[in-house]
Structure 1
Amino acid sequence: MSSTTETLSNFKEAALTIMSTRHPWTEFLSISSLSLPSSLSQATTRIGINLTRFLFNYSFILLFILLLSLVYHPLAILLLLIAFAGWYFLFFTRESDESLTLFNLISLDDRVIVVALVIFSLVVVAVTGVWLNVLVSVVIAAAVVCLHGALRTTDVGGLDDYESPYGPMLNEASAGSYSPV
């Protein structure tokens, strides 16, 4: 298979993977599915489940907020789009190596690519002088995503019954009482 065909195939496969987490905006923004979580444990569980379920929608929100913050910086938008394309094509669409262990998550070749992409991204942000815009937009987007993720119920197929990944640490009932010694 030629390099161009392989690249297009990788692009299509990655796009299908991302699109598989896409849900209709009407479902995502449904007011009837919003409610306050009963505990911090339930809020963290909801955030984790909703991040997985609505990854495409949340990514779109992040990119939209970032774009709004850079609307008066067209050079920064262009260079960040190039950086994004580099991340997408050189890192996120790569073939995964099944032999990697937990402590060796990225192969040596991928580490070189990641370091180069991080350096390029940081240089773009530093040279264009939009680091504060990027930082503020990422913080705002993270707050919006966490707020939506915590408020949106996950009662589809019994997902609200999952245990928090933090277990009893966040369970108010397990705090116990203190008694004098």
Structure 2
Amino acid sequence: MDLLLRATDTIKSLRETRLSGIRPPTEFFDYQRISRPADLNQATSRISYNTRYFSGNYGLIVALLGVYAVLTNPLLLISLAFLVLGFAAINKFAPEATQFGDHVVTQKHLYTGLFIIGIPMFWLAGPFSTFFWLIGASSVLVLGHASLLEPGVESEYASIQENV
């Protein structure tokens, strides 16, 4: 029950801090403001402004791409679940040493067994290729959107407020 309360508190705080910065889809997907930047300086200034302004939306896109990457790689999903659930099970069900015949099994032995099985399984799942795919896909989407979308009228007022 305590775990459920902590999870709901975490979700509420996440919603208040991160999700409050998400801009509406009508503003994020405003196709009328899409244009090719004239030069690299304009693209850089658009990227600088849009990444700050749409940071919540871009964070959500990266999170969704991460979930997609894990769900489409079943071995990675299984190995992550094996390691996380094994770690949780050892902490919950085996806090003290247990005697099996002449052998004493401690938490250290259980963690060693978990990592001997889990780490090679995780390595075979290709986490690095998934990680670099996530970086590449996120970069293309975020930088492409940020450079093609013209900043709104509010960007002019933001530069005035910074100077005051």
| TM-score bin, normalised by smaller chain | 0.5 to 0.7
Q: Spell out the pairing of 1:44-59 with structure 2 (5 A cutoff).
A: 44-59=44-59
Tell which structure's C-alpha radius of gyration is larger.
Answer: 2
Q: Note if contact 2:49-2:155 (Cα within 8 Å) is conserved in structure 1.
A: no
Q: TM-score, normalised by structure 1?
A: 0.52
Give me the CA root mean square deviation: 3.5
* CA distance, structure 1, for counterparts of residue 135 and residue 80 of structure 2: 14
Aligned partner of residue 23 in structure 1, secondary structure: coil
Give aligned pairs, total: 123
1:31 has 2:31 as partner: yes
Aligned twin of 1:111: none
Q: Tell me which moved more, 70-79 or 129-138.
A: 70-79
- Post-superposition offset of 1:8: 5.6
* CA distance, structure 1, for counterparts of residue 55 and residue 121 of structure 2: 26
Find the partner of 1:141 among 113, 138, 143: 138
Q: TM-score, normalised by structure 2?
A: 0.57
> What 5-or-longer segments of structure 1 have no aligned partner?
84-121, 163-181
1:129 has 2:137 as partner: no
- CA change 1:18–1:152 in 2 (3 A) is same
Q: Note if contact 1:67-1:77 (Cα within 8 Å) is conserved in structure 2.
A: no
Percentage of matched positions with identical amino acids: 23
- Post-superposition offset of 1:38: 2.4
* CA distance, structure 2, for counterparts of residue 41 and residue 125 of structure 1: 43
